[in-house]
């Protein structure tokens, strides 16, 4: 009987020794850097402002690009000619902004095509022959638009431009 009790005690000890100790899983700490990082909106509209000066004349542009759809305001402040200001709408095709400029000059509302080449944080206005079509001045041929001699507008602070295009 003593042998039986002794064998039972040894078996119980051996069974307990073979049990694996369960260690609780370590808690994962949240990455505070990722939580505090600001969210960057890549889909919303992007605003750009430009100003160009040729002699005593100035051009101000406020452009909003919403995934290639362009809206904004444009103002030509001319020293010896009538000035104009109005809205631009259009689209971006590659590095070219193809816009329609609806403006008021001499108390008269007009519409005309105006294209800008957007490169190196600047806009260069396209120069080309225009034709009148459906009450709007349009480029006669898109293939003959030249950007090398057009007025150049450089990026600037939008506060300055917004005062000029009101």
Q: Where are the domains of the chain?
A: 2-36, 46-164
Whole-angstrom CA distances from 67 to 87, 91, 94, 134 are 19, 9, 12, 29
Please give the structure tokens belonging to residue 30: 């949240």
Please give the structure tokens belonging to residue 66: 């919403």
> Among candidates 110, 96, 111, which has minimal Cα distance to 146?
96
Q: Are 81 and 54 in contact (CB under 8 A)?
A: no
Bridge partners of residue 58, in order along the sequence: 53, 77
How do the pLDDT tens digits run along the chain, 166 residues long?
A: 555 555 555 655 556 555 555 566 666 665 555 556 666 656 666 899 999 998 899 999 999 999 889 999 999 998 888 889 999 999 999 999 999 999 988 888 999 999 999 998 899 999 999 999 988 999 999 999 999 988 999 999 999 888 888 7
Query: How many whole angstroms separate alpha carbon 85 and alpha carbon 28?
Result: 59
Q: Are 64 and 80 in contact (CB under 8 A)?
A: no
pTM reported for the whole predicted model? 0.71
What is the pLDDT at residue 118?
Answer: 93
């Amino acid at each position: 009987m003593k042998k039986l009790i002794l064998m039972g005690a040894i078996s119980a000890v051996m069974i307990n020794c073979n049990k694996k100790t369960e260690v609780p899983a370590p808690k994962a700490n949240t990455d505070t850097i990722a939580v505090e990082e600001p969210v960057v909106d890549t889909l919303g509209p992007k605003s750009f402002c430009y100003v160009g000066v040729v002699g005593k004349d100035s051009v101000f542009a406020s452009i909003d690009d919403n995934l290639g759809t362009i809206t904004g305001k444009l103002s030509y402040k001319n020293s010896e000619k009538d000035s104009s200001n109005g809205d631009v709408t259009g689209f971006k095709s590659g590095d070219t902004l193809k816009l329609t400029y609806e403006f008021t000059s001499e108390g008269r509302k007009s519409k005309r095509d105006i294209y800008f080449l957007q490169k190196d944080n600047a806009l260069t206005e396209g120069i080309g022959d225009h034709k009148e079509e459906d009450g709007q001045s349009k480029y006669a041929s898109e293939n003959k638009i030249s950007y090398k001699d057009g007025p150049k507008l450089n990026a600037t602070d939008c506060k300055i431009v917004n005062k000029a295009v009101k």
